[in-house]
Structure 1
Amino acid sequence: MSDRIGLTGIVAEACHGVLEHEKRAPQRFVADIVLECDLRRAGTDDELASTVSYADIAQGAYAVLTGDSVDLIETLAERIAAVALAPVAVEAVEVTIRKPQAPAGVPFVDEVTGGPFVTVRREHDREVVIALGANMGDRAGTMADAVRALTAVDGLEVVACSPLLETGAVGGPEQPDYLNAVVVARSRLAPWTLLDELHRIERNHGRVREVRWGARTLDLDLIQVGDSTDDFDLRFETEELTLPHPRAHERAFVLVPWSRVDGTAQLRTAAGSEDIRELIDGLPAAALDGIRPGPAWDPL
């Protein structure tokens, strides 16, 4: 279960409501916000970048409360939820809006905790693309186990998996050929939380990170989070993770299996959001000649 950050009792005087006098005479509105995040990394590295600035969330919520007049507190809750979901670390949010001075025709206990309220919960539901590869041991068996492990990750729903393709190793020392595949899933998880899960699955299957681009029992790469077609993909670069994957656009062993599971997919490159089929067409012939069908599998 995700960790939580809470902001309670954000108060603003504003003119929201269905009745005409509510649009002229300010009254009190109170917002409570609970953010669901994975705070393990922040608790370890003590870095603001690993968590959420509650000051930014509070100021964003206050701007909504004091902004354009709306009829319904449901609308305020929805707009504040959108603000609170924006930081990369946030996985889900719960927003409660109280209207303690609402003209309901009955008395309420007080002007802070009384009165009508609405609560909404919203969570991310982003497409994620994960590339799988293995060139040691029981390659197909290990990759099938990895897909099943992905289906067990809380907050991740595997939607589809490509056929297995066999490819020659690219870069690094001389080594055996790879089996490669791509999984398309949907997730509410923050990207580094998902990355931690991928690394955990790799370790559970004997992955040891000693030689860069060396042979491996299992490799799981996070390629893209969000749909680049509508500019909803996450874009950032840290020492640990860059999104989208900086070399995916030139890797046939990623693009070709991805095209087999989603022929309309797009990947963000320096030139913008590009059709992966066009990226494949632009690859050197030698890169594509080395790709051949792998063994049949049905990991789902």
Structure 2
Amino acid sequence: MPDVQHDRIRITGIAATGHHGVFDHERRDGQRFVADVVLHVDTRSAAAADRLDLTVDYGTVTSRVAAVLSGAPADLVETVAERIAAVVLDDDRVHAVDVVLHKPQAPIPVPFDDVTVEIHRDRARPPAVAAPAGGRHAGAAATEQDPQADVAEPSGVAGQTAVHDRLDEPPAEPVDVVLALGSNLGPSQDLLRRAVHELCEVDGLDVVAVSPLVRTAAVGGPEQPDYLNAVVLGRTTLAPRALLRACQGVEASLGRERLERWGPRTVDVDVVVHGTTLAVTDDLELPHPRAHERAFVLEPWAQVAPDAVLPGLGGGPVRLLAETAPDRGGIRWMALDWWRTPGEA
């Protein structure tokens, strides 16, 4: 039987500094690695419906490949290539993947242009290693009603392993942060107001702006009420993971329970951006991998920061991203100073 010919999504030139290699100086100093990937997929359903959620988000794929390049050191580039293949194939919609991994600064004592390792992996001949932490099924910080991810439980939950990496390191100086708020259960406007006030009390976080309130339809998940959404801009000296835990603490204090995946909730407080941090881990992905396509984040953000730019791959000027977001037609503006306590100046 002839091989099935799939459509292909090709991403070239994904670059990051990694610490892979067998020599001490490679582990200590790091060097540039570049990856090219080809995803073998079936694009017909997505093309027919013109729906982003029916195809592979190449912005997310690119971020995760870059995270492998800059992630846990390996002695061999062959191992890194297998990790990349495993991350890509963690999405069931990808039938096969081609990986070309470049090590242009390899410690070779004669002139050369490049060193590459090229592999092809598919469901019949899977990668030799498992996907690193932060694959598609990891509990990345999810934006409100996003059907593609759910927020990880706060640290300290029974059975959860503590993670210690660069996301536990506070910035050398305050950085800008973007938090996305959402609620569709209970007195949503009051709950979101209380969330803003609790965020103002978090040590190491200065709230500098709060967006207008919007009403949006739930994106995916079970049938449920519309959401109220807003964005909070701030400055923080907290490490990314410390900020995540502070946000989860606000959620818990306002009765957030995770009873149904993608189900209705009293309140979400999600970390969308932490400075220029680019990372994929079990409990936090920065920037949020779907922020660039969520109007319920982009529209309020653009209202309070018209010149804002979403960092990372798939990012760009927030105002322009909002204009092309798939759910932009469902935004309804509700109120401006909704978060202030009645009678507050």
The code of the aligned residue for 1:282 comes to T
Matches within 5 A, 1:161-180: 161-180=210-229
CA deviations on 1:95-132 (whole Å, 9 max, x unpaired) are xxxxxxxxxxxxxxxxxxxxxxxxxxxx4200000000
TM-score (norm 2): 0.50
The code of the aligned residue for 1:280 comes to A
Tell me the CA shift for residue 292 of structure 1: 0.5
Q: Which residue is equivalent to 1:261?
A: 304
Question: Any conservation in 1 of the 2:213–2:338 contact (CA below 8 Å)?
Answer: no
Tell me the CA shift for residue 91 of structure 1: 2.4
Number of residues paired by the alignment? 184
- Distance verdict in 2 for CA 1:281–1:206, change over 3 Å: same
CA deviations on 1:149-191 (whole Å, 9 max, x unpaired) are 0000000000000000001111100000110000000000001
The CA RMSD measured in Å over matched residues stands at: 2.1
Q: Which residue is equivalent to 1:288?
A: 328
CA deviations on 1:35-78 (whole Å, 9 max, x unpaired) are xxxxx98xx9886x615xxxxxxxxxxxxxxxxxxxxxxxxxxx
Matches within 5 A, 1:86-101: 87-91=166-170
The structure richer in strand per residue is: 1
Corresponding residue to 2:164 among 22, 27, 50: 50
Aligned partner of residue 202 in structure 2, secondary structure: coil
Matches within 5 A, 1:119-268: 123-226=172-275, 233-268=276-311
Question: Any conservation in 1 of the 2:309–2:318 contact (CA below 8 Å)?
Answer: yes
Structure 2: give runs of 5+ residues left out of the alignment. 1-154, 341-345
Identity among equivalent positions (%) equals: 43
Corresponding residue to 2:316 among 262, 274, 285: 274
Tell me the CA shift for residue 238 of structure 1: 0.5
Question: Any conservation in 1 of the 2:170–2:240 contact (CA below 8 Å)?
Answer: no
Aligned partner of residue 129 in structure 1, secondary structure: strand
Tell me the CA shift for residue 280 of structure 1: 1.5
Aligned partner of residue 216 in structure 1, secondary structure: coil
Question: Any conservation in 2 of the 1:249–1:269 contact (CA below 8 Å)?
Answer: no
Aligned partner of residue 170 in structure 2, secondary structure: strand
The code of the aligned residue for 1:278 comes to L
Aligned partner of residue 311 in structure 2, secondary structure: strand
Tell me the CA shift for residue 298 of structure 1: 4.1
Structure 1: give runs of 5+ residues left out of the alignment. 1-39, 52-86, 93-122, 227-232
- Distance verdict in 2 for CA 1:270–1:91, change over 3 Å: closer
Detail structure 1 runs of 4+ shifted over 6 Å in the superposition.
44-47
**Which whole-Å CA distance do the structure 1 matches of 2:170 and 2:281 have between them?**
19
Which protein is bigger by CA-based radius of gyration?
1
**Which whole-Å CA distance do the structure 1 matches of 2:331 and 2:232 have between them?**
18
Question: Any conservation in 2 of the 1:135–1:218 contact (CA below 8 Å)?
Answer: yes
